[in-house]
Amino acid sequence: MLCYWGEEEGVRAGFGLVKPGRVQRTQSGVSFFSPGGRITQLAAGQRLVGFIRGDGSVSVLRLTPLEAPSEKTIPESLELKEKIRLMSCGETQAVLLADGGKVLLMDQLNFCRLILSGTKVIQVACGNQHCMALTHDGQLFTWGENSSGQLGLGSGKSNSPQPLRSLRGIPLAQISAGGDHSFALSLSGTVFGWGRNNAGQLGLGNAENRSTPACVNHLNLKKTVFISCGEDHTATLSKGGTVFTFGSGRFGQLGHNSFRDELRPRVVAALWGSKVSQITCGRNHTLALVSSSNTVYSFGWQLGNWQQTNQCVPLPVDLLPESNHGQEIEQIAAGGNHSFALCSQQENDSVQPESTQNEGILVLEDRLIDRWISECAPDDFFCILISHQPSLPEERYFLFGCLCGLAFYNNSVVNLPFPLALFKKLVNVQPSLEDLTEFSPVLGQSLQSTLDYSDEDLQSAEMPYTVSVLKKFVEAYVDHAMNGSVERVFEEFRRGFYKVCDRDVVKLFLPEELRGVMLGSEEYDWDILKQNVTYEGLFHPRHPTIISFWEVFDELSARDKKAFLLFLTGFDRVPVLGMNQVKMRVRPLLFYTQDHLPEALTCHSLLELPVYNTKETLKDKLTEALQHKRGFWDD
């Protein structure tokens, strides 16, 4: 099901995908219809809309200008050899990303030509008159109009893709382009913006244009996972579902209950606690999707609620009549003065427990680690990382280094079977015989026995060696085992780790401290966890639901208690400084039934608990929530 709303002038009913008679409309002004084939993605620009079908084919529709509303066009299918998987639309042009990483640029006549030939691209973004492409090896290319510095290259425009050298070496996770401004998001959550800043849409605290990338310091430590740009405003989504907006508020598109501009990122208070999963910006409006309630919120201009006035606070959009409420919203998109929602039929309308997985949250679960270990040679020195004959592609070591760097950067505790020697090597401390003994006791004890010989022992045994010779032999053996034989694969791991983390900061840690921060501990003190809990709303320590909860918790097995810690925080190990660092919060779950399961916001160690009628119901629902899903794989 495809829903759309907004400006109607120059728009053919159903956007030409179906006959106008098949398009239905709700009382709130939202049109909806079932397209002839499955649509996997849609992209919208100022006057351009693109639809990608399940077979990789693309249809584009150019919307007529307001001054020529009678000329209603029909979509044109692009004749392409490649299967398209992503598309981004600008004012009159679009960028298409095909399978295999090929990039096609579509001009005003819908003619597509290949650009960045021989380069594998993983993301594309299109502003009004400029484009961006992120490659597989981390390079960012920009091209097009540069009137406000939106290319990040300084002055002067470029008709061909140029590398953005100022961001070279920074691993990027996402790119986004607005009217005349651009954004890039690093793997660590750092946000960079450049281009037009007349209304503060760069979030830098001023209204000065930037021709080179500038770090948005006000979003530091906000754990940003997604950015969307409008004409003159920007929205960001944090890992816990919090939305920040900044820039022009002329049409209420910031959602702050005002029409003034914001020069710095500001939380959309009306969406606080809603766990927003998707955001998208149109020209002068913003959409937010809350998947848990299957609700789209909109604010700004052209909202699809029959209202001609601008709306400055988020309001839910009544997408479908009750007869179609089995539809689940998969994607939202906004462009120009239109909004879209792609829906699909739910397979099961029953209440399902939510996974602890959130987009952007790093989860390394035991099953993944075990699989990597099983793929390694049995005589690997550093378990899954270091072997004299590496059994994994070198790229895997680099990527795993990036993952470990992300875990350290985000203070994430992961249970990885790393010996102390690995952390010594990361901070340039030479491993010793004791480190070799840690993961190969037989070999280490054998070498230690060699060192225990005295000169007298060697002379009495008539051995042609001296103690100094044996010592040099052991030192050379340890150096070869811990350094020389594994140099190539460890350097790949180290390169990935420091791709994310600052080398000078990491070197402030002792090896033991570094291991403690990353691996945590298994010293579980559940009494301390209980003592540090804070209660919100109607909950307090003597509330019947809270009393029942702790009684059920005390009855859990040690394994289930660890599963609860994972459910609550995203980690099943204790931080290096102890259980005191886990600040658990408990509040009532809003709009619940007795069939709902407990929910957790791992970023804040927040447990949302329905007020169950009986202790037995609480126990059943809590147990089901803990056992349902872990990480990225279903049980």
pLDDT in tens, 216-262: 999 988 889 999 999 999 999 998 899 999 999 999 999 999 999 99
Q: Say if residue 107's pLDDT is above 80.
A: yes
Long-range contacts of range 565-570, CB-CB < 8 Å, 24 or more positions apart? 565/524, 566/356, 566/630, 567/356, 567/600, 567/625, 567/626, 568/600, 568/602, 568/605, 568/607, 569/602, 569/605, 570/356, 570/361, 570/363, 570/412, 570/602
313: pLDDT strictly greater than 60: yes
Phi, psi for 208 (deg, rounded to 5) = -100, 135
The residue annotated as part of the active site, out of 89, 131, 501, 603, is 603
The segment with the largest mean pLDDT, out of 284-293, 313-322, 367-376, 570-579, is 284-293
CA distances from 236 to 246, 247, 266, 284, 499 (A): 9, 12, 10, 16, 24
pLDDT band at 396; cut points 50, 70, 90: confident
**Does the active-site annotation cover 603?**
yes
pTM, two decimal places: 0.57
The predicted pLDDT at position 278 comes to: 96
The pLDDT score that the predictor gives to residue 115 is 92
Which range, 78-82, 281-285, 519-523, has the best average confidence (pLDDT)? 281-285
Within 13 A of 208's CA, how many CA atoms are on the CB side?
Answer: 8
Q: What are residue 516's phi and psi, to 5 degrees?
A: -65, -40
The mean per-residue pLDDT over the stretch 585-589 comes to 92
E strand or H helix at 215, and its extent? strand 210-215
Query: In this predicted model, what pLDDT tens digit does every residue of 486-543 receive, in sequence order?
Result: 888 888 889 999 988 888 888 888 988 888 888 888 888 999 999 999 999 899 999 9
Q: Grade residue 130 by pLDDT with cuts at 50, 70 and 90.
A: very high
Q: Put the strands of the sheet holding 84-89 in their side by side order.
A: 84-89, 94-98, 103-106, 112-115
Mean pLDDT across 34-45: 86
What pLDDT was estimated at residue 381?
A: 36
The residue with greater pLDDT, 566 or 391, is 566
Span of 106-120, 126-140, 227-241, 515-529 with lowest mean pLDDT: 515-529
Is the pLDDT reported for residue 363 higher than 60?
A: no
pLDDT of amino acid 74? 65
CATH superfamily of 526-634: Hect, E3 ligase catalytic domain (3.30.2410.10)
Instruction: Name the range with the highest mean pLDDT among 4-18, 31-45, 308-322.
Output: 31-45
Q: Quick one: average pLDDT of 365-394?
A: 46
CA 458 to chain centre: 62
Q: What b/e readout covers 278-314, taking b as 16+ CB neighbours within 10 angstroms? A: bbbbbbbbbbbbbeeeebbbbbbbbbbbeeeebbbbb
Average pLDDT over every residue of 258-270: 95
- Average pLDDT rounded to a whole number, residues 317-330: 79
Domain boundaries, the chain: 366-519, 526-634
In this prediction, residue 455 carries a pLDDT of 72
Q: Mean pLDDT lowest for which of 49-58, 364-373, 518-527? A: 364-373
